[in-house]
Amino acid sequence: MIISRYLLRQVALTTLIVTSFLTFIMIGGRLIKYFGIAAQGSLDVSALLLLVAYRLPDFLTLIMPLGFFTGLMLVFGRLYVDHEMAVLNASGISRDSLGLKLWPFVLFLILAEAGLTLFAAPWGFDHAQKVMAEQSSKKGFDLVSPGRFITSGTYTFYAESQSPDHTSLLNVFVHQNASNGSDVIIVAKEAVRLIDPARLNSIVELHKGRRYELKAGQLRYSEAQFATYRLNLNDAQAADVLSTATESMRTTDLIAQNDAKARAELGWRVSIPIMILIAVILSLPLSEVSPRQGRFLRLFPALLLFVALVVGLLALKLKIGKGTLSVWAYAGLMTFYLFFSLLLARKQRMTARFGGGKSSPPNGGGVVAVGLGDPT
């Protein structure tokens, strides 16, 4: 019981530190990206922290398995370097039994990872997309300042002045490149912006003005006078992303879908929690080092091996989404890594059996001689 508490405390603390460090790096990089968008006027600064909070569950889906794997490598590597593994082996506790003592923490991480990938990450991605769509719908008219021409999509705005309460623009000029090739010119005494909360459209309402439509090379034009006229500034690209992104769909909706992108996203969400189990089986043999080598000797090669699994899953998600591979390719990759991890975990026993007994005993038992002392 003492050994279990000690091992769980070390692994949990190290995993928390590594995961927090990687999360801060990821958030910092994303904040820099959002600050760049905000500097261009396409994003309100007040929405930055909200976007990061919504995307945090999505970040943790990959950071948590990587942090757990790194924590296992560091903890078990220190056990070998500080001769603690030798003492445990001499007491009859093998490396595999130490891995089994981690099952409460492993089960907790698998459930947490499943909750993130199946529920929290899609919810956060959906709300982040809504915030981006709302910011996209605001960015055209809100950037108009008196005395400056501002272009948003097919519209160009100009306002002579602003109302005292800063809620409307006065003496407004609007130019639009219509889809039929004609030019639409609108002049109005006042313009205010409205938001459609259901569709996240940005609507500009013009009051008391005239609308002219003409085409280059033609002498005829049309003129209309209005008391109220509305322009729809909806960002079609943002609306399309908001409606078609499979990352923001609920897991139950993905199960009901039958297209390739939905199957790719569903397979990705199911595969991520299994990485926690692979991290345990893979880290145990890879962390075994001699005290002279140091615990960081195999850390970076092991991290590259584990990151290759993540890259492989991302590549499969892309291929399956295009319909070139079956969704069972996820199971094939995860089975390969499980088999490879089990093979590494049993390599010493296999070497001892087929190599004539020249190799060291399994589960780090060869290091026991370090702590046995002088036989005399």
CB 254 within 8 A of CB 248: no
- Torsion 70-71-73-77 (CA) sign: positive
Lowest-pLDDT choice from 66-70, 176-180, 360-364? 360-364
pLDDT level of residue 98 (50, 70, 90 thresholds): confident
Q: Facing residues of 226 across strands?
A: 209
295 lies in the same domain as 173: no
pLDDT level of residue 239 (50, 70, 90 thresholds): very low
- Count of Cβ atoms closer than 10 Å to residue 292 Cβ: 7
Instruction: Say what the pLDDT of residue 320 is.
Output: 93
258 lies in the same domain as 348: yes
> Would 240 be classed as within a structural domain?
no
> Would 104 be classed as within a structural domain?
yes
Of residues 141 and 131, the one with the higher pLDDT is 131
The pairs formed by 205-209 with CB atoms below 8 angstroms and a separation of 24 or more are 205/229, 205/230, 206/172, 206/174, 206/230, 206/231, 209/172
pLDDT level of residue 138 (50, 70, 90 thresholds): low
Instruction: Say what the pLDDT of residue 351 is.
Output: 55
219 lies in the same domain as 252: no
Domain boundary among 232, 258, 285: 232
Over 50: is that where the pLDDT of 240 sits? Answer: no
Instruction: Say what the pLDDT of residue 294 is.
Output: 67
7 lies in the same domain as 119: yes
12 lies in the same domain as 129: yes
Percent of the chain with pLDDT over 90: 38
Lowest-pLDDT choice from 67-76, 179-188, 361-370? 361-370
- Strands of the 183-196 sheet, one edge to the other: 150-152, 155-162, 169-177, 183-196, 201-214, 221-232
pLDDT tens digits for range 301-336: 999 999 999 999 999 999 999 989 999 999 999 999
Based on the structure, what is the number of domains in the chain?
2
224 lies in the same domain as 253: no
Buried-state track 190-201, b at ≥16 Cβ within 10 A, e below 16:
bbebeeeeeebb
> Would 320 be classed as within a structural domain?
yes
153 lies in the same domain as 228: yes
357 lies in the same domain as 220: no
pLDDT level of residue 144 (50, 70, 90 thresholds): low
Count CA within 13 A, CB hemisphere, residue 261.
7
pLDDT tens digits for range 192-236: 877 665 555 567 888 999 999 988 878 788 889 999 998 876 554
Record the pTM. 0.72
258 lies in the same domain as 346: yes
Instruction: Say what the pLDDT of residue 372 is.
Output: 36
> Would 116 be classed as within a structural domain?
yes
Of residues 216 and 293, the one with the higher pLDDT is 216
Domain boundary among 199, 232, 265: 232
> Would 315 be classed as within a structural domain?
yes
In total, the chain counts a number of residues equal to 376
Percent of the chain with pLDDT over 70: 81
Q: How far is CA 245 from CA 42, 128, 341, in A?
A: 21, 12, 35
Over 50: is that where the pLDDT of 238 sits? Answer: no
Of residues 95 and 173, the one with the higher pLDDT is 173
Range of the structural domain that residue 189 is part of? 143-232
104 lies in the same domain as 225: no
166 lies in the same domain as 211: yes
